[in-house]
Amino acid sequence: MLRIAIQSKGRLFEDTMALLQEAGIKLSTSKRTLLVQAANFPLEVLFLRDDDIPQTVAGGVADLGIVGENEFVERQEDAEVVRRLGFSKCRLSLAIPKEEEYTDVSWFEGKRIATSYPCILKDYMSSKGVHADIHVITGSVEIAPGIGLANAIFDIVSSGSTLISNNLKEVEVVMQSEAVLIANRQLTPEKRDVLKELLFRIEAVKSAEDKRYVLMNAPNERLKEIIAVLPGMKSPTVMPLAQEGWSSVHTVLDEKCFWEIIGKLKSLGAEGILVLPIEKMIL
């Protein structure tokens, strides 16, 4: 059985639980306990603080962990990144008071920077040849300049609204982050097999994201033109209709180019276009 450590609350917790549910793993969350076993898969979930997950996985207390990449890099623990998960995206950025004039990273020379991510910040400043006073704090980092504790901050940014409300502006993006699945490097062959099945399920869920199954009726004389504009996984499915001279065309479209392609299909004579969501996709 695999033990996976996940964040005990917050957005990352919600996104992780949704992923496991979509992967068909049934977990009881009616009573929050430290350890919960899945009902239909050899997996148990250990709920922890996000900053404890890298060490827990590297030390073998948990076999796997889902954690923000920012926390994993900051903790510098020896674990393996198995898969990037594409959710809980954010960035680690430097921000300064809005009224300050900023040219480049040399602005931070000799300045005091408040952060909860000193290791990442130290490496970045070192790579730029800048010497700054890194002041480590936890909690509300963004208030540090306003109370005179620091000249700038280095913190997580999602929408940027927190910076604006504290009269700060983002000036340097140091790192992009998202949720990652990490694993202990010493997994047994049996646990590797379970991990392989878990990854198969996750891949099926992630492959279906932002994809739509599209069915349409197409005049046979325009079939070649219609098929030419379809960027499906492989060749689309084409089946004759009862009405002579028409066929049914089935394909999968990426949502980001969906409306552009639909417009082209209509101009080529496609009719009765039906769009369906995809829950899982096995490639």
pLDDT, tens only, 136-163: 998 889 999 999 999 999 999 988 899 9
Average pLDDT over residues 53-71: 98
Q: Give 31 or 203, the one with higher predicted confidence.
A: 203
Domain chopping of the chain, boundaries: 2-87+178-207, 90-177, 210-277
Token pair for 278: 């995809």
Q: Report the percent of the chain where pLDDT is more than 70.
A: 98
Q: What is the pLDDT of residue 21?
A: 94
pLDDT, tens only, 6-43: 999 999 999 999 999 999 999 976 666 889 999 999 99
Average pLDDT over residues 106-129: 97
- Strands (DSSP E) contained in the chain are 2-7, 35-37, 43-48, 64-68, 80-84, 90-97, 112-115, 133-136, 152-157, 168-177, 179-183, 211-219, 237-240, 246-254, 271-277
The answer to whether residue 257 scores a pLDDT higher than 90 is no
CATH code given to domain 90-177: 3.40.190.10
Average pLDDT over residues 175-180: 97
Beta strands 2-7; 64-68: pairing state: parallel
Q: What is the pLDDT of residue 31?
A: 60
Q: Are 157 and 93 in contact (CB under 8 A)?
A: yes
- Torsion (CA) 103, 109, 110, 112 in degrees, nearest 10: 70
CA pair distance 22, 173, nearest whole angstrom: 33
CATH code given to domain 210-277: 3.30.70.120
- The reply to whether 90-177 shares the fold of 2-87+178-207 is yes
pLDDT, tens only, 212-247: 999 999 999 999 999 999 875 578 999 999 999 999
- Assigned CATH topology for domain 2-87+178-207: D-Maltodextrin-Binding Protein; domain 2 (3.40.190)
- Torsion (CA) 64, 68, 71, 73 in degrees, nearest 10: 80
Single pTM value for the model: 0.88
Q: Report the percent of the chain where pLDDT is more than 90.
A: 85
Q: What is the pLDDT of residue 33?
A: 81
